[in-house]
Amino acid sequence: MTPQEIVKQVQKLSVRQQREVLQALAESLDAATNNQLSEAEIAEQLFAQGVIREIPADWNASAADFEPLVIKGKPLSETILEDRE
């Protein structure tokens, strides 16, 4: 379910129920920011709550494993700047 779909469903609730949803989301956000959960923990919570359908196996690959592509020619950033002129 997309965030927009969730909002549409919440808007169908009574004002009291909407406030309950808002409170629950605020508490969840506070807990996540206060406890400094890792991205993996947040992803697990979202999965458990049904907000996301799956967690790809390599979604949280280490930045140390990142290898940029090597391309021939001048840097892409230079090309973009030239095109903007």
Helix (H, G, I), strand (E, B) or coil at 12: coil
- pLDDT category at 40 given cuts 50, 70, 90 is confident
pLDDT digits (tens, 9 = 90+) for 10-29: 889 898 888 888 888 888 87
Position 41 confidence tier, pLDDT thresholds 50, 70, 90: confident
The predicted model scores a pTM of 0.38
Q: Does the pLDDT of residue 33 top 80, yes or no? A: no
Say whether pLDDT at 63 is over 70.
no
Query: Could you state, in order of their start, the residue ranges of all structural domains in the chain?
Result: 3-84
Q: Is 72 left (phi over 0), alpha (psi -120 to 50) or beta?
A: beta
